[in-house]
């Protein structure tokens, strides 16, 4: 007999602090206004850095192959890594040989290193480890993206396109396509850090916008609310960035915008790679653990799959699990996100990881293909060396 669901266990102090900051960033309340002067200083420093590159006083470097940057303009989790993985898989399906570069946020190392499918996430970063494990693609991490690009191309000279996981604000790297990803909070209160979530003013020049809708996708691709996969999200004008929560009309972007819907896969993955259907877990009490930017989203999606969460534990994003002790859970089955699994499996090999799947509105990949350099419009048998050019947006 399945245990009755228990109230969620208390999140850690870091998780509570993160939630409080996220709440403050959704509205222009007293805390946001108190921090507003600091946000102006932050904005001035950011503008100076952009100007140095736009004026030519500092030069961006191009990797020599077409470069796609997938990033965001808000702090915290925007869901860009699933978009990176979707772009990589699309390029692979089209016959290209992509490589992925990243800073490797949260890793314990500082050097430039290749990421292998079995690389410890603590040494290479959660997202690069997940991408390497899930997409069978070359991945290199380095503090400077250009160092990562050079190393990857040296190790894999057949790579013909680079995808940069994060880096919209990394001006030293010249790029050909910028993709900006928003979660369902949009631009929040519209303030720059630390008064709001924005890393830089919005709008800014980008090629494509991908924004998450509130409703997760259902297995047939439609949103749970009935919204079609290629429909504009409620409250959004076509080609517009998500609306700030405080209700003011957002500044529109001239870039095409595409809705993204998320859903959990219909299965969980064991450490050995075998699968167990989520349907078979419905009668089991589960201990759900998440160390991501928005853990409650993961818990909600598990419940939407009719799973019984006997207990939940929200941990800080990029938590390393070295000091985590499994609570007295009465033998509950341990379930986690796919991103957390690589670290959790070291100590709890019985944990089950549930992959996250995304669906991007119709037309996104066609728009991406149309913006790739001409030599990628059809796979050449003997591709000529790519032209060397600078950033289109920096």
- Is residue 206 within 8 Å of 83, Cβ to Cβ? no
Q: Is 310 within the bounds of a domain? A: yes
Q: Please give the model's pTM, rounded to 2 decimal places.
A: 0.82
Asked whether residue 157 falls in the same domain as residue 192, the answer is yes
Chain segment 181-214, per-residue pLDDT in tens: 998 888 999 999 999 999 999 999 999 999 987 6
Output the pLDDT for position 224: 33
- For residue 353, what are the CA distances in angstroms to 268, 293, 302, 307? 5, 17, 11, 14
Q: What is the mean pLDDT of residues 88-101?
A: 97
Q: Is 362 within the bounds of a domain? A: yes
Helix (H, G, I), strand (E, B) or coil at 139: strand
Chain segment 116-142, per-residue pLDDT in tens: 999 999 999 999 999 999 999 999 999
Output the pLDDT for position 340: 95
Output the pLDDT for position 21: 82
Output the pLDDT for position 16: 73
Is the confidence at residue 101, as pLDDT, over 70? Answer: yes
- Is residue 151 within 8 Å of 140, Cβ to Cβ? yes
Is the confidence at residue 4, as pLDDT, over 70? Answer: no
Phi, psi (deg, nearest 5) at residue 195: -75, -20
| Domain count for the chain | 2
Asked whether residue 177 falls in the same domain as residue 323, the answer is no
Structure-model confidence comparison of residues 147 and 251, the more confident one: 147
Asked whether residue 158 falls in the same domain as residue 178, the answer is yes
Domain housing 246:
67-263+358-376
Pairwise CA distance, residues 302 & 109, whole Å: 33
Q: What Rg value do the Cα atoms of the chain yield, rounded?
A: 21
Q: Is 10 within the bounds of a domain? A: no
Structure-model confidence comparison of residues 183 and 382, the more confident one: 183
Asked whether residue 161 falls in the same domain as residue 253, the answer is yes
Query: Which helix (H) or strand (E) covers residue 18, if one does?
Result: helix 13-24
- Is residue 137 within 8 Å of 51, Cβ to Cβ? no
Pairwise CA distance, residues 39 & 197, whole Å: 10
Asked whether residue 368 falls in the same domain as residue 303, the answer is no
Q: Is 84 within the bounds of a domain? A: yes
- Report which of 206, 183, 303, 290 is spatially closest to residue 255, judged by C-alpha positions: 206
Asked whether residue 130 falls in the same domain as residue 153, the answer is yes
Measured in whole angstroms, the distance separating CA 227 from the mean position of its chain's CA atoms is: 23
Q: Is 154 within the bounds of a domain? A: yes
Which range is least confidently modeled, 88-92, 128-132, 174-178, 224-228?
A: 224-228
Give 10's pLDDT tier (boundaries 50, 70, 90).
low
Output the pLDDT for position 329: 64
Asked whether residue 100 falls in the same domain as residue 210, the answer is yes
Output the pLDDT for position 119: 94
Q: Annotated binding site for ATP, which residues? A: 74-81
Q: Which residues pair with 333 in a beta bridge?
A: 286
Measured in whole angstroms, the distance separating CA 265 from the mean position of its chain's CA atoms is: 17
Asked whether residue 226 falls in the same domain as residue 81, the answer is yes
Asked whether residue 349 falls in the same domain as residue 242, the answer is no
Q: Is 381 within the bounds of a domain? A: no
Q: What is the mean pLDDT of residues 22-29?
A: 89
Q: Is 39 within the bounds of a domain? A: no
Chain segment 232-273, per-residue pLDDT in tens: 332 233 333 334 433 332 336 889 999 999 999 999 999 999
Asked whether residue 326 falls in the same domain as residue 367, the answer is no
Query: Which helix (H) or strand (E) covers residue 68, if one does?
Result: strand 67-71
Which range is least confidently modeled, 91-95, 185-189, 214-218?
A: 214-218
Q: Annotated binding site, which residues? A: 74-81
Asked whether residue 244 falls in the same domain as residue 116, the answer is yes
Chain segment 308-367, per-residue pLDDT in tens: 999 999 999 889 898 898 887 688 999 999 999 989 999 999 999 999 999 999 999 999
């Amino acid at each position: 007999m399945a245990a009755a669901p228990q109230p969620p266990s208390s999140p850690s102090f870091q998780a509570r602090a993160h939630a409080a900051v996220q709440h403050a960033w959704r509205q222009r309340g007293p805390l946001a206004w108190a921090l507003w002067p600091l946000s102006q200083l932050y904005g001035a420093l950011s503008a100076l850095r952009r100007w140095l590159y736009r004026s030519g006083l500092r030069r961006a470097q191009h990797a020599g192959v077409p470069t796609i940057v997938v990033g965001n303009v808000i702090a915290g989790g925007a869901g860009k890594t699933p978009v990176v993985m979707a772009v990589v898989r699309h390029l692979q399906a089209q016959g290209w040989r992509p490589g992925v570069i990243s800073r490797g946020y949260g890793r314990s190392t500082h050097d430039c290193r290749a990421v292998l499918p079995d690389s410890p996430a603590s040494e290479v970063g959660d997202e690069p480890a997940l991408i390497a494990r899930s997409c069978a693609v070359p991945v290199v991490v380095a503090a400077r993206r250009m160092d990562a690009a050079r190393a990857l191309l040296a190790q894999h000279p057949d790579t013909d396109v680079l995808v940069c996981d994060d880096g919209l604000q990394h001006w030293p790297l010249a790029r050909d396509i910028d993709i900006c990803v928003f979660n369902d909070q949009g631009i929040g209160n519209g303030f720059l850090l630390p008064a709001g979530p924005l890393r830089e003013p919005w709008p800014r020049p980008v090629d494509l916008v991908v924004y998450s809708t509130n409703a997760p996708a259902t297995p047939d691709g439609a949103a749970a609310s009935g919204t079609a996969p290629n429909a504009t999200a409620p409250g959004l004008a076509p080609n517009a960035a998500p609306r700030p929560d405080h209700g003011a009309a957002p500044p529109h972007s001239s870039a095409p915008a595409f809705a993204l819907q998320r859903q959990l896969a219909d299965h969980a993955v064991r450490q050995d790679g075998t699968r167990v259907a989520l349907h078979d877990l419905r009668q089991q009490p589960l201990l759900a653990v998440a160390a991501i930017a928005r853990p409650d989203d993961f818990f909600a999606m598990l419940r939407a799959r009719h799973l019984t969460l006997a207990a939940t534990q929200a941990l800080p994003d990029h938590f390393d699990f070295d000091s985590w002790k499994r609570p007295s859970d009465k033998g509950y089955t341990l379930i986690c996100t796919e991103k957390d699994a690589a670290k959790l499996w070291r100590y709890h090999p019985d944990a089950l990881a549930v992959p996250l799947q995304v669906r991007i509105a119709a037309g996104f990949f066609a728009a991406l293909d149309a913006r790739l350099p001409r030599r990628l419009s059809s796979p050449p048998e003997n591709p000529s060396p790519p032209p060397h050019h600078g950033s289109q947006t920096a």
